[in-house]
A and B are shown apart, each in its own frame.
Chain A
Amino acid sequence: MKTAFQRAALAVPALTLGMTPALAQSIDDKVNEVFANSTGWFVSFIFSPFPGTAFPWIVAWLVIAATIFTVYFGLIQFRAFPHSIALVKGDYSDPNDAGEVSHFQALATALSGTVGLGNIAGVAVAVGIGGPGATFWMILAGLMGMASKFTECTLGVKYRNEYPDGKVSGGPMYYMKKGFAEKGLPGGGFLAVLFSIFCILGALGGGNMFQANQAHAQIANVVGDYPGWITGIVFAAIVFAVIVGGLKSIARVTEKVVPFMGILYVATALVILLINFDQIGWAFGQIFEGAFTGLGVAGGFVGALIQGFKRAAFSNEAGVGSAAIAHSAVRTKEPITEGFVSLLEPFIDTVVICTMTALVIIITGQLVSDPETGLYMLNETGSAIQTVDGNSGVALTSAAFSSAFGGFQYILAIAVILFAFSTMISWSYYGLKAWTYLFGEGQAKEVIFKVIFCLFVVIGAAADLGPVIDFSDAMIFAMAVVNIIALYFLMSIVKKELDSYMGRLRSGEIRKYT
């Protein structure tokens, strides 16, 4: 694995020095080959289906975990929902703590790492393959995922490291090590190291290369095709300026523009739904009917279910452990409060934003159905539903929005680029935390990781590295395998925190300040 990454890193300067396309192509091929050969087995393993089905076991792993947490914590995502909102509003925040990281800020930062391509492109893929019914399963998986987030983020805050200079570091590796030790269980250190390795690779892949690649695809889609390494270098330079140069202003601008883009996206979707309000009932009918019958999609209702579950998991990262890193900086005396706040994340990401995308695609009539049977028609290869212009992925979402508002594809392109950038900034941080967990904190060590991260931006944008991207997705799910094992062992700690907190909330010991 190490050699593969070293070679990939070496490939970058070569690409940037303006090599002949043929030579650059051969380097791409070489990188692809090395990756495919050395990592293919891992990808196949992570995404392998249960024998005799098309259902990947990793999707079941995430959904079963979410179900167990939902039951174990007594439908916490519904019970605690109003309290979560109150916490985000700051009703329970001590005014004397003003100036510290608020619940809102922790949530907003974590959200800007998860809201992104999954909400725009991923949903289009799910609906394009699984039909409207996939939306039902996606929403269900989003609702269940709230319990996974609650569990991991509570632990993230509880077992974070607070250093004398006032900085904090938290995340699954810390609760694995400290939580297991506290319970007298062996293997916490091993899990932490394993998680950190997967997290670094996931950060370089799904949190970086995939984003750079898709951002380039969007730009090329609008301005016409041009070499990807140009986008890569520009992106890498900006990322470098932010994470190595400490140029906070760019990050700050992004952090402000991204929520605005998210709101604009949802608002536009709402307007489209309002214009077509007479069809909303029909659209939900399609979603429910499709959820259990498939309405003729490839794979029937199981196909809809797999697509919905898979995209929800990709999109909101519940159970992956990344959010536990982002949430752990909040200022609170009660770790469980950050758990409550974090459960809003899959809700906003999946139940609200993803559903909006799906409804717009369905209502604007992008999916072609047979007028006689009412069933959806498949495309020529039979792999997905026939769409009006033959679009899929981001292009399908873009076509759906543009059919209502001409020119929206430009706004969407900007949104995708900004989402990609903010996801990269977030994942550079997650990767760095895993890196410093393994190698220790220190200026030089941190810069090494950050430079590697920037190099991978160029690689990601420059070439269509299919196997590399498969591998990075696999790594993000590998994080979930390790993380959820730890969550099973540590969930009783969360339960204790929950019972104690709820007791004090009922008795009035924990009160609103306003």
Chain B
Amino acid sequence: MSQKIVVGYDGSGSADAALGFAAAIARAQGGTLIVAHVLEWSPYSFLTPDELEERHMRRKEELERAEKAMLTPVVERLRGEGLEVVTELKYGHIAETLIKIAKAHGADQIVIGRTGHSDLSARLFGSVAGTLAQAAPVPVTIVP
């Protein structure tokens, strides 16, 4: 059966590991990789007047940078290996957005790297892996 796999990718070592894992499944079983990069963003954050004015410009810059520096190289490499790859570049809460992407594509599973957030904010607000484990509609694989 052809699989659709969403991979949360942020350029880190553990994200590379997750991508490698997902690529191996896709290669073995045939399927599509959806490489998703989510830029952390809350519409309820507080900005200064200057930041408001520049926001549209900054957003464009951030998207271009993420596309060029992060997604394009890996996508080209994977396509070079003959894999079918699509990308998703979104703003939002990371775990929630990955879930939305998975739903939108009708994905069969989500693969993420364990970035090992053990700092205070992760304790307070929950890590991406923790949230996905609780809320994802499809199986989630966490790659160490």
Across the two chains, which residue of chain A brings its CB closest to B89? A99
Please measure, in the bound complex, the distance between the C-alpha atom of A351 and the C-alpha atom of B110, giving whole angstroms. Answer: 48
Which parts of A102-150 form the interface with B (CB within 8 Å)? 102, 104-106, 108-109, 112-113
Across the two chains, which residue of chain B brings its CB closest to A256? B46
Residue with the highest number of chain A CB atoms closer than 10 Å, among B41, B56, B59, B90: B56
Contact status B46-A109, CB under 8 Å:
yes
Asked whether A98 and B92 contact (CB < 8 A) given A105-B43, A259-B46, the answer is yes
Contact status A425-B48, CB under 8 Å:
yes
In the assembled complex, the CB of B53 is this many whole angstroms from the nearest CB of chain A, namely: 5
Q: Kindly list chain B residues whose C-beta atoms are within 8 Å of the C-beta of A259.
A: 46
Please measure, in the bound complex, the distance between the C-alpha atom of A259 and the C-alpha atom of B48, giving whole angstroms. Answer: 12
Asked whether A425 and B49 contact (CB < 8 A) given A100-B56, A329-B55, the answer is yes
Across the two chains, which residue of chain B brings its CB closest to A325? B49
Contact status A112-B39, CB under 8 Å:
no
Q: Kindly list chain A residues whose C-beta atoms are within 8 Å of the C-beta of B81.
A: none
Contact status B56-A426, CB under 8 Å:
no
Q: Which of B39, B43, B56, B57 contacts A104 (CB under 8 A)? A: B43
Which parts of B72-93 form the interface with A (CB within 8 Å)? 90-92
Q: Kindly list chain B residues whose C-beta atoms are within 8 Å of the C-beta of A102.
A: 43-44
Q: Would you call A251 an interface residue if the criterion is a C-beta within 8 Å of the partner chain's C-beta atoms?
A: yes
Chain A facing B: main interface SS: helix
Q: Would you call A267 an interface residue if the criterion is a C-beta within 8 Å of the partner chain's C-beta atoms?
A: no
Contact status A112-B53, CB under 8 Å:
no
Interface size on B, residues (CB 8 A): 26
Chain A 421-444, CB-CB to B under 8 Å as 1, else 0, gives: 000011001100000000000000
Across the two chains, which residue of chain B brings its CB closest to A163? B57
Asked whether A99 and B54 contact (CB < 8 A) given A105-B47, A248-B48, A425-B48, the answer is no
Q: Kindly list chain A residues whose C-beta atoms are within 8 Å of the C-beta of B59.
A: 99-100, 166
Asked whether A109 and B57 contact (CB < 8 A) given A99-B41, A99-B62, the answer is no
Q: Would you call A101 an interface residue if the criterion is a C-beta within 8 Å of the partner chain's C-beta atoms?
A: yes
Q: Kindly list chain B residues whose C-beta atoms are within 8 Å of the C-beta of A90.
A: 43
In the assembled complex, the CB of A181 is this many whole angstroms from the nearest CB of chain B, namely: 23
Q: Kindly list chain B residues whose C-beta atoms are within 8 Å of the C-beta of A112.
A: 46
Contact status A326-B49, CB under 8 Å:
yes
Please measure, in the bound complex, the distance between the C-alpha atom of A184 and the C-alpha atom of B47, giving whole angstroms. Answer: 37
Contact status A108-B46, CB under 8 Å:
yes
Across the two chains, which residue of chain A brings its CB closest to B58? A166
Q: Would you call A169 an interface residue if the criterion is a C-beta within 8 Å of the partner chain's C-beta atoms?
A: yes
Q: Would you call A234 an interface residue if the criterion is a C-beta within 8 Å of the partner chain's C-beta atoms?
A: no
Contact status B49-A426, CB under 8 Å:
yes
Asked whether A105 and B46 contact (CB < 8 A) given A100-B56, A329-B53, the answer is yes
Which parts of A244-297 form the interface with B (CB within 8 Å)? 248, 251-252, 255-256, 258-259
In the assembled complex, the CB of A322 is this many whole angstroms from the nearest CB of chain B, namely: 11
B-contacting residues of A (Cβ < 8 Å)?
90, 93, 95, 98-102, 104-106, 108-109, 112-113, 165-169, 242-243, 248, 251-252, 255-256, 258-259, 325-326, 329-331, 425-426, 429-430
- 18 examples of A-B residue contacts, CB within 8 angstroms: A93-B43, A98-B41, A98-B90, A99-B41, A99-B55, A101-B55, A104-B44, A105-B44, A109-B52, A166-B60, A167-B53, A168-B53, A169-B53, A243-B50, A248-B48, A252-B46, A329-B53, A425-B48
A-contacting residues of B (Cβ < 8 Å)?
39, 41, 43-60, 62-63, 90-92, 100
